[in-house]
Amino acid sequence: MLSCRTQKRPCYRPIEVIDTDRKIAVIIGAGPAGLTAAHELLTRTGIKPVILEKSTYMGGISRTVNYKGNRIDIGGHRFFSKSDRVMEWWSRILPIQASENVPATIRYHRMERKIDVPSKTSPSANPDNVMLVRARKSRIYYLRRFFDYPITLSQDTVLKLGLWRTFKIGLSYIKSALFPLGKEENLEQFFINRFGRELYATFFKSYTEKVWGVPCSEISAEWGAQRIKGLSVWSTLKHAFLKLFKKPETDISQKKTETSLIEQFLYPKFGPGQVWEEVARQIVEMGGQIITGCKVEKLLTDGWRVTALETTNAAGERNTFAGDYFFSTAPIKEIIRSFDVAPAQNVVEVSDGLVYRDFMTVGLLVGSLKISDQTPQGKRLVRDNWIYIQEPDVLLGRLQIFNNWSPFMVADQSKVWLGLEYFCNESDDIWKLSDDRLVALATEELSKIGIIEASEVLDATVLRMEKTYPAYFGTYDRFAEIRQHVDRYQNLFLVGRNGMHRYNNQDHSMLTAMMAVDNIIAGNTDKAALWEVNTEMDYHEQKSSGAETRQAQMAAS
Ligand SMILES: Cc1cc2nc3c(=O)[nH]c(=O)nc-3n(C[C@H](O)[C@H](O)[C@H](O)COP(=O)(O)OP(=O)(O)OC[C@H]3O[C@@H](n4cnc5c(N)ncnc54)[C@H](O)[C@@H]3O)c2cc1C
């Protein structure tokens, strides 16, 4: 039952909420961060959460879209975290599927501990409500050939690149190792210092620029620090060498493995949305409320406290939700414009200048691919979960093969269910193409680079997602001015990905929500720890023991 009273006229009165004797937390957004906040409040406090969600689905960017029984994961979501807190939280929501394999090992505080993956599913448990342990495979497609990702300096790579190009790569790497660029301010400098100019130009520049739509020299080095943690030619070589002597990895936490080299991850049987739908179910079961089709338009304040949120629904009806605490996972750019008392001009200026990148997936159901893996049993579907398309003659950025995330993502497992990903801006022509034209473009591009025959396409659908990537350019370098403003509202917590304008994965988004609840429980009004999540910069660790300590703390959280 919904607690709001709907009115046709504007309503500025606080909404009636059941259990008025309990404190209320009003949460904007039913994505991972909003749902985690609500779940934590219900399990750890007496506070009642009320989630206001503008769409009709659960999971935000991490939802799963079901198209005729074929499921699309927007971007492909690996469930992996260096945080035990998050790993344990996920497996409480959906346990790991019963397996006869040896128990997986989780490293904890640099120690190892085993977790029991049951050898049999309990008869009372729903066999569909499980996480699968999946192998990660992703390669780069370039020059109409596959290259390992991360790049390995193998004989195969050398043959595919040719001797001259390999020589130039080696030379420019040595140059970067001996004479690194002094100050790393942008992503181009970050890449060159780790990989050398030639390897950067061959394998990183074109894809990264497809993703962001701007030159790497205009992107902050902070992006690299967050996303390419600790990865370098040296660590790639070391990894390849150690792999020769190592038993297969059974550690699902994999703390000693750098994020870009992870080889196993958890994945819900029916895609990421399954976790978030289950969390939503539990929230309602425990007495929380989730109100969908309800867009937050205004934050009402009294001094430095938020007192209520004003919303509209699809019918244009307005409501007001009063509360004691407020969480927002909505894009910060929209929140800044939603305060009833306008922030200082500089804050509005920085907020208006924040940039996002948008994202489209074309789902293509095909009979077969032209590419395959050769096995002793014959040819089979390539094992990649996703493939980076480095080819500069197509707009296509990445290709998902949903069969390889979970076979249960595909209605008829004899078919191949693909996601063709295009990174763009809402203002771009490609965003505005009709679905039919976009499907035609996607089909043509995939045939052009030799991955399918156009005649193999059986069905297709298109998804457009706004603001999937908060960018580290535009006015991002002045973000502290926004933070200073919002942090003054003691009972307002900005959490998650767009909520904090951070390139946060689910685990980071969840940790910010968990830590906000920690703050409420502890009566702590200092939000610095929340802003620290996902700022661990492993490349600093190599130089500074202070940063290393901080990283160790982050990993333990
Ligand atoms: C391409 C891609 C690949 C990714 N891969 C991974 C991965 O492999 N692993 C991983 O862990 N993470 C991955 N992520 C990141 C993950 O998707 C996000 O970290 C996570 O979804 C963020 O959760 P959130 O709750 O902060 O925000 P969101 O998921 O964006 O949810 C926010 C919710 O708020 C709602 N909302 C917004 N404004 C309002 C408003 N005004 N009123 C009411 N409701 C509102 C939205 O409708 C949405 O439901 C990926 C992301 C992308 C884009």
Provide CATH code, domain 356-470: 3.90.660.20
Residue in 430, 431, 446 with CA at minimum distance from that of residue 398: 446
Closest ligand 1 atom, residue 35 Cα: 25
How far, in Å, are 360, 364, 391, 437, 546 from residue 461 at the CA level? Answer: 11, 7, 24, 11, 49
Closest ligand 1 atom, residue 78 Cα: 8
Whether 5 has a pLDDT exceeding 50, the answer reads no
For the chain, which residues make up each domain, given as ranges? 24-60+274-354+473-552, 78-136+247-271, 138-228, 356-470
Tell me what the mean pLDDT of segment 501-505 comes to. Answer: 94
Q: 138: Cβ below 6 Å to ligand 1?
A: no
Whose CA is closest to atom 53 on ligand 1?
A: 468
Name the band, by pLDDT with cuts 50, 70 and 90, for residue 552: very low
Q: Which residue did the predictor score with more confidence, 372 or 133?
A: 372
Name the band, by pLDDT with cuts 50, 70 and 90, for residue 115: low
pLDDT single digits (tens) 291-322: 999 999 999 999 999 999 999 999 999 999 99
- pLDDT for 154 equals 81
The dihedrals phi and psi of 295, each to the nearest 5 degrees, come to: -95, 130
Residue 21: CB atoms within 10 A of its CB come to 6
The dihedrals phi and psi of 2, each to the nearest 5 degrees, come to: -85, 145
Whose CA is closest to atom 22 on ligand 1?
A: 497
Q: Which of 218-227, 464-473, 529-538 has the highest mean pLDDT?
A: 464-473
Q: 499: Cβ below 6 Å to ligand 1?
A: yes
How far, in Å, are 33, 186, 249, 404, 471 from residue 135 at the CA level? Answer: 26, 33, 10, 9, 30
For the chain, the straight-line distance linking the first and the last C-alpha, in angstroms and rounded, comes to 36
- pLDDT for 329 equals 98
For residues 269 and 408, is the Cβ–Cβ distance under 8 A? yes
Residue-level length of the chain: 557
In whole angstroms, what is the distance from residue 333 CA to residue 494 CA? 12
Fold classified for 24-60+274-354+473-552? FAD/NAD(P)-binding domain (3.50.50)
- pLDDT for 341 equals 97
Tell me what the mean pLDDT of segment 529-550 comes to. Answer: 51
Whether 267 has a pLDDT exceeding 60, the answer reads yes
Distance 294 CA to ligand 1 centre (A): 17
Q: 75: Cβ below 6 Å to ligand 1?
A: yes
Whether 262 has a pLDDT exceeding 50, the answer reads no
Whose CA is closest to atom 36 on ligand 1?
A: 29
Contacts with 498 (C-beta within 8 Å, 6 or more apart), sequence order? 329, 330, 331, 332, 356, 467, 470
Whose CA is closest to atom 33 on ligand 1?
A: 29
Residue in 86, 127, 186, 155 with CA at minimum distance from that of residue 533: 86
pTM reported for the whole predicted model: 0.86
Q: 62: Cβ below 6 Å to ligand 1?
A: yes
Whose CA is closest to atom 2 on ligand 1?
A: 75
Whether 347 has a pLDDT exceeding 60, the answer reads yes
pLDDT single digits (tens) 423-466: 999 999 999 999 999 999 999 999 999 999 999 999 999 999 99
> Pocket of ligand 1, candidates 295, 500, 505, 512: which has the most ligand atoms within 8 Å of its Cβ, to mutate?
505
Whether 106 has a pLDDT exceeding 70, the answer reads no
Whose CA is closest to atom 34 on ligand 1?
A: 29
Name the band, by pLDDT with cuts 50, 70 and 90, for residue 467: very high
Closest ligand 1 atom, residue 504 Cα: 19
Distance 32 CA to ligand 1 centre (A): 7
Tokens of 388: 């980076």
Q: Return the ∠ at Cα 214 (arms to 345 and 432), rounded to 5°.
A: 85
In whole angstroms, what is the distance from residue 473 CA to residue 208 CA? 14
- pLDDT for 7 equals 37
Distance 327 CA to ligand 1 centre (A): 14
Whether 553 has a pLDDT exceeding 60, the answer reads no
Q: 54: Cβ below 6 Å to ligand 1?
A: yes
pLDDT single digits (tens) 349-391: 999 999 999 999 999 999 999 999 988 989 999 999 999 999 9
Q: Which residue did the predictor score with more confidence, 327 or 211?
A: 327
Whose CA is closest to atom 8 on ligand 1?
A: 77
Name the band, by pLDDT with cuts 50, 70 and 90, for residue 547: very low
- pLDDT for 522 equals 96
Distance 74 CA to ligand 1 centre (A): 10
- pLDDT for 463 equals 97
